[in-house]
Structure 1
Amino acid sequence: MTKGQLEARISEAVSAFEINYMGRGPKQIKTTIVQDLIIIRLKGFLSQVEQKLAESSQGVELLKRVRTSLFESAGEYFEKTIKDVVDVTIVSLHSDVSTRTGEKIIIITLDENLESTFLK
């Protein structure tokens, strides 16, 4: 499997996770493997209600708190989803949402340099 193929498989798995666990998938998703990091950028994943909620500062705070809580509560399921694709131990997960752009960034730290496996 090539690096691009693995990145595509991770994107597909994350998109399925978003649909099945969070209730809605992104319009676009891009995964990039850089050394021991997997960086996933999701665009267009906020619902219309969430976009409306994000028009006020209180709404932004509430939306971020709810999205963070949902993602953290699904941490084990998300890790298993990724591990099933990459078969590498996950050290940590980081996620943030931009209510201004409607983007979500997920960064996964691994216990080994996954990118180096494609350089051989």
Structure 2
Amino acid sequence: MTKGQIEAKLSEAISKFEIEVMGRGPKQIRTFILQDLIVVRLNGFLSPSERKLAESNQGVELLKKLRTTLFENARNDLEVLVKTVTNTDIISIHSDVSTRIGENIIVFTVGENLEDKLKAKLGD
């Protein structure tokens, strides 16, 4: 598979994961493979009630705690999903939510330079 195909497959799998685990999928998702990083950018994933909750500082704090807890509880499943698609070990996962613009960024650190590995496969 090409880099673009893997990025698309990861976007599709993570979007499905978001629907199944977090209760709602994003309106837009983009995945980027950059050396030993996989960066996933999800936009439009907050529900109307979450957007309303995010109008106050206390609501933002509550929403972030909830999303972080859900994410941490499903971390192993997400790790397996990404490892299955990329065939590489996951070293770490980081995630942050912007309630102001309804964006979530997930960054995976993988065990090898995935970008170079994919380029080498294309050269074979």
Output the amino acid matched with 2:67.
Answer: R
Output the amino acid matched with 2:30.
Answer: K
Distance in 1 between residues matched to 2:16 and 2:57, nearest whole Å: 30
Output the amino acid matched with 1:46.
Answer: L
Distance in 2 between residues matched to 1:60 and 1:22, nearest whole Å: 17
Distance in 1 between residues matched to 2:108 and 2:68, nearest whole Å: 15
Runs of 4+ in 1 over 2 A off after TM superposition: none
Q: TM-score, normalised by structure 1?
A: 0.98
The residue number in structure 1 matching 2:20 is 20
Indicate the percent of aligned positions where both proteins have the same amino acid.
62
The residue number in structure 1 matching 2:36 is 36
The residue number in structure 2 matching 1:60 is 60
For these two proteins, the number of residue pairs brought into alignment is: 120
1:50 aligns with 2:37: no
Distance in 2 between residues matched to 1:90 and 1:117, nearest whole Å: 15
The residue number in structure 1 matching 2:85 is 85
Report the RMSD for the aligned CA atoms in angstroms.
0.6
1:112 aligns with 2:107: no
Gap runs ≥5 in structure 1? none
Gap runs ≥5 in structure 2? none
User: How far 1:12 sits from its partner (Å)?
Assistant: 0.4
Distance in 1 between residues matched to 2:83 and 2:119, nearest whole Å: 21
State the SS of the aligned residue for 2:46: coil
Deviation per residue, 1:67-119 (Å, 9 max, x gap) = 00100010111101111111100000000000001000000000100000232
